[in-house]
Copies of this chain bind each other. A is one copy, B any other.
Amino acid sequence: MTVPTRPVATVGPVKIVGTGLLGASLGLALRAAGVAVQLDDASPSALALARDIGAGTPVESGDPEPALVVVAAPPDVTAVTVLAQLEAHPDAVVTDVASVKAPIVAEVRAGGTTGAGRYVGSHPMAGRERSGAAAADGDLFAGRPWVIVPEDASGDAVLAVRNLAADVGAAPVTLGAQEHDDAVALVSHLPQLAASLVAARLRETPEAALGLAGQGLRDVTRIAASDPQLWSMILVGNAAPVATALREVRADLDELITALDLAAQHGPLTPGAAGPLASLVAAGNAGAGRIPGKHGGAPRRYGEVTVLIPDEPGALGRLFSDVGEAGVNIEDLQLEHSAGQKVGLAVVSVLPAAVAPLEAELDRRGWRLVAH
């Protein structure tokens, strides 16, 4: 089975400074595409590990000049490293992959040179809970957005970074530096903190209460398993936009608490009690409906077929074989299963026009369907 590929547009060699998860994964992806990769890292052991997994070759004197330098260093040393690379390689395009952009662009500008338009900030929206070259993955960027922040960069420099993103399977997206930082505060940093805030409440919850947990709690808290050190660095790096988002959340939260106190003191039917709660849930409907893509868009763009499945080897296999033989493409899938139960629900999202024929076909094949 193969994945669609395009001709590689990146002109090597590419020098990668910093061989952690992102740097090593990028090296693996470029090597797989046949691009020469030079690796550099302040830590000899990290460098050796990246070399050993096949992410590239450690830089040596006499190496050909890189056409593109990718700085994948920790956020706090990214800008100074970018400046050093601009100076060390006077003809190279230099980019970085840090998760915050405005402060780095500002620091590079303050450094006196942006290399005559050779610096392009960027941010591949990819990562994992584990870090380091040991967790590197050549497919890490496949299908993920890769934000490109031109600011002072030349058109050629921007094109070189767009090509890099496309060559490793990412989808290039162009944004301003502050635009990017405000965006990730809302779509990435705020959800992480919300998941952690809810999950943190479960530390002293009685086992019996946790036994009532449903899919809702599991969805909301899934990303609460993220790495504390990595995330605290990401969050302080984008402190102002994240604080702004949290202040807006706190204002809504205060309204909810006031309304709930009214209901607690004077009864659920007290005027002013239910209104703010209904308004907030309605506002959430509106916001959630704007999230694009298969998952976010599913409630509007796809129909659902819900099937009861027994908890036994091959059951899902039989279901999906039958769906495939019906010629229907699965756009999204959710499994619901309560621990200890012998049956689960598979909610299959398909194009609206495919719902009725698929339900008929699955019914014919003896599956138990749940009506919508």
Closest 4 CB pairs of A and B: A314-B324, A317-B324, A196-B284, A183-B209
Which of A147, A171, A294 has the most B CB atoms < 10 Å from its CB? Answer: A294
The answer to whether B268 touches A239 (Cβ under 8 A) is yes
The answer to whether B319 touches A236 (Cβ under 8 A) is no
Number of copies: 2
The answer to whether A260 touches B243 (Cβ under 8 A) is yes
Closest to A266 in B: B239
Q: What is the distance, in angstroms, from A335's C-beta to the closest C-beta of chain B?
A: 5
In the assembled complex, A371 has its CB within 8 A of some CB on chain B: yes
Residues of B within 8 A of A190 (CB): 198, 201
The answer to whether B232 touches A137 (Cβ under 8 A) is no
Q: Which of B182, B242, B260, B277 contacts A231 (CB 8 A)?
A: B277
For the complex, give the distance between the alpha carbons of A16 and B339 in Å: 29
**Which A residues between 294 and 346 are near B, CB-CB below 8 angstroms?**
294-297, 299, 308, 310-325, 327-330, 332-333, 335-345
The answer to whether A214 touches B240 (Cβ under 8 A) is no
Closest to A176 in B: B208
Binary per-residue interface labels of chain A (34-75) against chain B in the complex, 1 for a CB within 8 Å, 0 otherwise: 000000000000000000000000000000000000000001
For the complex, give the distance between the alpha carbons of A13 and B269 in Å: 35
The answer to whether B316 touches A320 (Cβ under 8 A) is yes
The answer to whether A291 touches B236 (Cβ under 8 A) is no
Grouping DSSP codes into helix (H, G, I), strand (E, B) and loop, the A interface class, with mixed when no group exceeds half, is: helix
Closest to A279 in B: B228
In the assembled complex, A200 has its CB within 8 A of some CB on chain B: yes
For the complex, give the distance between the alpha carbons of A186 and B199 in Å: 9
The answer to whether B236 touches A260 (Cβ under 8 A) is yes
Residues of B within 8 A of A319 (CB): 320
Residues of B within 8 A of A278 (CB): 228-229, 231-232
Q: Which of B139, B200, B333 contacts A280 (CB 8 A)?
A: B200
The answer to whether A226 touches B281 (Cβ under 8 A) is yes
Not counting A1-B367, A194-B220, A320-B320, a sample of 5 additional A-B residue pairs whose C-beta atoms are within 8 angstroms of each other reads: A221-B288, A235-B263, A236-B273, A239-B262, A316-B324
For the complex, give the distance between the alpha carbons of A254 and B262 in Å: 23
